[in-house]
Amino acid sequence: MTGMPSTSAQEHWSGVWRRLVEGEAIRGDLNALPGSRKPKLEEVLESATERFLSTDRQNLAEHLRSSLSQISARLHSSQALMFICPRDRDSGHVCVQLDSHERSPLAEQMMASAGRWKAALNGQTVQIIEREDGDEAAFICASLSCQRVILLSTFIDQQPGACLMLGTSPDTWIPDASECALLSAFLQLAYLVTDRLAVQDVLRQRDSLLQRTERLAGIGSWHNDLVQDCLTFTAQSGEIFGFSADTRWINTRQLLERIHPDDRHRVAGSMQRSSDTGEGFDIICRVCPRAEELRLVRVLADVVTDGSGKVVARFGSVQDITEAHERTRQLQQAAQVLESAMEGVLIVDALGRVESVNPAFTAITGYPASEVVGVPVQVLDKGSHNRAFFRSMLRQCIRQGSWRGEIMNRRRNGELFPQLLSVTVLRDDHGRISQFVAVFSDMSRIRKSEKQVDYLAAHDALTGLPNRAGLMTCLQKAIDKAAIKRRRVAVITIDLDHFKHINDSLGHPAGDRLLQACARRLRERLRDSDTVARQGGDEFVVVLENVVSQKQVEQVAGILQDLFAKGFDVGTGRELFIGASLGITLYPEHGSDVTQLLSYADVAMYAAKQQGRNHYRFYTNELTQAASDRLELGSQLRAALQSDDELQIWYQPQVDQDSGNMVGAEALLRWQHPQEGLIHPGRFIPVAEDNGLMPDMDHWVLTHVCQQLAQWQQEGQPPFVVAVNITQPTFIAGGLVDRLQELLARYRIDPTWLELEITEGALLEPTPQVLNTIEGLKALGISLAVDDFGTGYSSLAYLQRFRVDKLKIDRRFVSSVEEEEEGRVITSTIINMARGLGLAVLAEGVETEGQRAYLREQGCTICQGFLFSRPLPLDAFSDWLKY
């Protein structure tokens, strides 16, 4: 307070009020005011009252000031101040001073210490303050620019509520009792209005606070008067139910209309039960606040009952829990995912302690949750990585937010296993690390499968040896090593001789067992450092490293040949003998890359086969030339089959020893090459086989033989049989019967003149296709002979089943009948067997009188061989026919 003495404010003001009271300030009895008189002050106060009643908070001070102005004018007061302090509130008090929009020091002090003023008024309603009454009185009088101050106070419930200070001079005016009563009434009114406005202010503030809080919390409140069926609600409740802001109230029906139809019955039931039982409810239901919008709400209700216990109202809250419910649902879903995930999940807090793990973690690592939760995560890092590794992982996580990679970890049972690990850092709202989430999958099965796939990709399933891909890798490594150490490498390609016969005659399972036995023998005999691979089919490859000399390789080739020279037992009941042809290349002499070394070794192997099989050959440049010549010959043969003027059919007579007559002939193909002259089948048939030309070639021969037969028949030649060789590919390819039917029809030939020679191999696969072909040939009247009989593995049952007409004894047996007992036994056995089965028999390759005599003696009269005639060109054979 301005001009305040040094004593404390409390003591000072107590003194002022005490002296004022002792100064008999009240003039007259306030209660004695006659009601009939209406002084002019009353009129002033009446108009002020009217204004007050319609004022609002903003205009309150202005109204007070203008009333103050009129009052002071009416009472000849030079200055005036009014202070109103609403009850029980430290705020909301008002202080206005006439002609002073700026607060005077007195007004400032009153505003600043309203509580103290209240205490100081001390129950006095009217007091008079003179300037000379002391410092404080002087201060008040100075504030109001006067010598004397009339101070009127009003008390509400014994509490000072307002006071009016009117500045006067000692010789002018002192209010009488009626004026004091009027002013006191006016002060009361001013107090009540101010108090009401303050209360309204507080209510408004509370309402606004409630609204904002409800909006923030998404919770609204409501009240339901059940007697009136009137439901009122806050703005937030209105928003949740979709009622417009100006909707003041609704009834129950209108409320239920906003409930989702499927939930309506349940909600109505809860309301009814609540009314019946007097209990509140807590329900969750769907509401449709606006078209196409669906929200989930939770409604809490309590009841209000009348004196008789009857429920007359309900009140409660409504909360929009759509998002919260969705979040809960998502959290539950996430929890379920974690529970059922195949990946292990480990959550670690910011201090590195394990917070939680999921079941997959336990399944993969073997650690139960109870054993790891709460322990430092380092306890689990028992893999093959050191601390520095995990520190760097942590640094990256912190820097980049995550880390991903494959690590080796250890299960509880000590087993190391690969895991694909991804660590993510979680941060709180302040950006501080809150958790680390590690998700990992057990890669051991995948790695194992990958290894298996790699193994299968590089190994042959039948023998377990490296396959071509594996061989290429091994050979490349061998070359790389040899290049560094300046060593040599040998590549040996091994091809089993006549393996196809084994397959054809004994079947594929026996062939497979033979290949497995060969692989075992090779692997057992060679050093671990040598590579043994199977390229496919019946071809093996051996890679020898650290080769010192060609001689050394020759020795190994000899060893390999010896390996194959020994018989194999593959469960067929007898030992199998199979030779092998070997082709050899050396690094670096013959090539510097894998493909070259392998292909040259193949070329050398082919040459070894040509040499008569069961040989080995080192690669030479000339062999490449021969191989390319063979390629060239293949395309020339293809052209020859088209052109018709290079291929010729020669005929070799078949003679009946008894009569000396020619009873048949074998058609044999010859190739009159424009540059190379006459080429024999022994050279071009392998080329035809390599190029897949055998079916074309066989059909070419059949066509030309049929054409020739037609001519001979037309010429009236005595009947004889012409045998045509049909190879297995042609026999099983299909279409042979149709082709022959067409040829027989086209050339009108007697089918009994035609015989097809097939090898035993062609008969060993009794497929429906083969059986149908034989049926068809028989139906056409064409006979069947088995060529090279005795070299294959036909069973007697097969001979009958395939309705064979003739057996041709292979010339190898015939050629040995004079020198070897074995040849004689085989030959006589075949003859007897043919006789027993009712089949014709013919001996091939009869070259000597001794052979002829032996055959005659055994009962084989039909012979073919140089002794009777070599194969003859058509002209010569035609001449032969004439004799």
Ligand X SMILES: Nc1nc2c(ncn2[C@@H]2O[C@H](COP(=O)(O)O[C@H]3[C@@H](O)[C@H](n4cnc5c(=O)[nH]c(N)nc54)O[C@@H]3COP(=O)(O)O)[C@@H](O)[C@H]2O)c(=O)[nH]1
Q: Answer yes or no whether residue 681 interacts with ligand X by CB under 6 A.
A: yes
Backbone angles phi, psi at 3, to 5 degrees: 70, 15
* Beta pairing partners, 156: 159
Distance between CA atoms of residues 188 and 443, nearest Å: 88
- Closest distance to ligand X from the beta carbon of 773 (Å): 16
- Closest distance to ligand X from the beta carbon of 677 (Å): 15
- Closest distance to ligand X from the beta carbon of 682 (Å): 5
On whether the CB atoms of residues 769 and 790 are closer than 8 A, the answer is no
CB-count burial class (<10 Å; 0-12, 13-18, 19+) for 394? middle
Cβ closest to ligand X, residue 823 vs residue 871: 871
- Closest distance to ligand X from the beta carbon of 708 (Å): 13
Q: Answer yes or no whether residue 865 interacts with ligand X by CB under 6 A.
A: yes
- Closest distance to ligand X from the beta carbon of 664 (Å): 12
Distance between CA atoms of residues 459 and 466, nearest Å: 4
Q: Answer yes or no whether residue 682 interacts with ligand X by CB under 6 A.
A: yes
Distance between CA atoms of residues 686 and 669, nearest Å: 13
Cβ closest to ligand X, residue 502 vs residue 846: 846
Cβ closest to ligand X, residue 263 vs residue 788: 788
Q: Answer yes or no whether residue 788 interacts with ligand X by CB under 6 A.
A: yes
Cβ closest to ligand X, residue 42 vs residue 698: 698
Distance between CA atoms of residues 553 and 560, nearest Å: 10
- Which of 121, 108, 46 lies closest to 81, judged by CA? 108
On whether the CB atoms of residues 652 and 871 are closer than 8 A, the answer is yes
Specify the long-range contacts of residues 386-395, CB closer than 8 Å, at least 24 apart: 393/423
Cβ closest to ligand X, residue 682 vs residue 836: 682
Q: Which two tokens stand for residue 848?
A: 């000597």
- Closest distance to ligand X from the beta carbon of 777 (Å): 16
Cβ closest to ligand X, residue 60 vs residue 693: 693
The DSSP letter of residue 377 is G
Cβ closest to ligand X, residue 590 vs residue 808: 808
Q: Answer yes or no whether residue 214 interacts with ligand X by CB under 6 A.
A: no
DSSP states along 55-106: --HHHHHHHHHHHHHHHHHHTT-SEEEEEE--TT-SSS-EEEETTBSSPPHH
Binding-site member from 25, 557, 701, 710 for ligand X (CB under 6 A): 701
Q: How many residues form the binding site for ligand X (CB under 6 A)?
A: 24
- Closest distance to ligand X from the beta carbon of 665 (Å): 11
What residues contact residue 639 under an 8 Å CB cut-off, 6+ apart? none
Q: Answer yes or no whether residue 669 interacts with ligand X by CB under 6 A.
A: yes
- Closest distance to ligand X from the beta carbon of 668 (Å): 4
- Sheet strands (E) in 627-727: 647-656, 661-673, 677-679, 721-725
Binding-site member from 73, 172, 748, 866 for ligand X (CB under 6 A): 866
Q: Answer yes or no whether residue 844 interacts with ligand X by CB under 6 A.
A: yes
Q: Answer yes or no whether residue 725 interacts with ligand X by CB under 6 A.
A: yes
Q: Number of helices (H) and strands (E), helices first, in the chain? A: 32, 30
- Closest distance to ligand X from the beta carbon of 753 (Å): 17
- Closest distance to ligand X from the beta carbon of 846 (Å): 6
Cβ closest to ligand X, residue 13 vs residue 671: 671
Cβ closest to ligand X, residue 121 vs residue 669: 669
Q: Answer yes or no whether residue 664 interacts with ligand X by CB under 6 A.
A: no
Cβ closest to ligand X, residue 585 vs residue 652: 652
- Which of 700, 707, 698, 701 lies closest to 727, judged by CA? 698
Distance between CA atoms of residues 864 and 878, nearest Å: 17
Backbone angles phi, psi at 569, to 5 degrees: -105, 110
Cβ closest to ligand X, residue 240 vs residue 736: 736
Distance between CA atoms of residues 42 and 824, nearest Å: 166
Cβ closest to ligand X, residue 136 vs residue 788: 788
Binding-site member from 535, 845, 861, 872 for ligand X (CB under 6 A): 845
- Closest distance to ligand X from the beta carbon of 496 (Å): 20
The DSSP letter of residue 719 is P
Q: Answer yes or no whether residue 680 interacts with ligand X by CB under 6 A.
A: yes
Q: Answer yes or no whether residue 755 interacts with ligand X by CB under 6 A.
A: no
CB-count burial class (<10 Å; 0-12, 13-18, 19+) for 682? exposed
On whether the CB atoms of residues 576 and 570 are closer than 8 A, the answer is yes
Q: Choose the binding region for ligand X from 222-230, 296-304, 402-410, 674-682 (rule: CB under 6 A).
A: 674-682
Cβ closest to ligand X, residue 418 vs residue 664: 664
Binding-site member from 136, 495, 497, 666 for ligand X (CB under 6 A): 666
Q: Answer yes or no whether residue 45 interacts with ligand X by CB under 6 A.
A: no
On whether the CB atoms of residues 25 and 126 are closer than 8 A, the answer is yes
Backbone angles phi, psi at 577, to 5 degrees: -115, 130
Q: Answer yes or no whether residue 860 interacts with ligand X by CB under 6 A.
A: no
Cβ closest to ligand X, residue 295 vs residue 811: 811
Q: Choose the binding region for ligand X from 4-12, 43-51, 337-345, 681-689 (rule: CB under 6 A).
A: 681-689
Residue 666, helix vs strand vs coil: strand
Cβ closest to ligand X, residue 725 vs residue 773: 725
Cβ closest to ligand X, residue 270 vs residue 636: 636
Binding-site member from 239, 460, 545, 698 for ligand X (CB under 6 A): 698
Site map (CB under 6 A) of ligand X, residues 318-357, x = contact: ----------------------------------------
Residue 662, helix vs strand vs coil: strand
Q: Answer yes or no whether residue 787 interacts with ligand X by CB under 6 A.
A: yes
Q: Answer yes or no whether residue 652 interacts with ligand X by CB under 6 A.
A: yes
Cβ closest to ligand X, residue 152 vs residue 724: 724
- Closest distance to ligand X from the beta carbon of 672 (Å): 14
Q: Answer yes or no whether residue 728 interacts with ligand X by CB under 6 A.
A: no
CB-count burial class (<10 Å; 0-12, 13-18, 19+) for 761? buried
- Closest distance to ligand X from the beta carbon of 701 (Å): 4
Q: Answer yes or no whether residue 668 interacts with ligand X by CB under 6 A.
A: yes
Q: Answer yes or no whether residue 751 interacts with ligand X by CB under 6 A.
A: no
Q: Choose the binding region for ligand X from 387-395, 583-591, 616-624, 662-670 (rule: CB under 6 A).
A: 662-670
- Residue 192, Cβ neighbours under 10 Å: how many? 19
Q: Answer yes or no whether residue 685 interacts with ligand X by CB under 6 A.
A: yes
Q: Answer yes or no whether residue 827 interacts with ligand X by CB under 6 A.
A: no
The DSSP letter of residue 613 is S
Residues 805-824 that bind ligand X (CB under 6 A): 811
| Amino acid occupying residue 771 | L
Distance between CA atoms of residues 753 and 744, nearest Å: 11
Q: Choose the binding region for ligand X from 177-185, 249-257, 711-719, 844-852 (rule: CB under 6 A).
A: 844-852
On whether the CB atoms of residues 776 and 757 are closer than 8 A, the answer is no
Q: Answer yes or no whether residue 847 interacts with ligand X by CB under 6 A.
A: yes
Residue 184, helix vs strand vs coil: helix
Binding-site member from 501, 839, 871, 872 for ligand X (CB under 6 A): 871
CB-count burial class (<10 Å; 0-12, 13-18, 19+) for 91? exposed
CB-count burial class (<10 Å; 0-12, 13-18, 19+) for 717? middle
Residue numbers of the site for ligand X (CB under 6 A)? 652, 666-669, 680-682, 685, 698, 701, 725, 727, 787-788, 811, 844-847, 864-866, 871
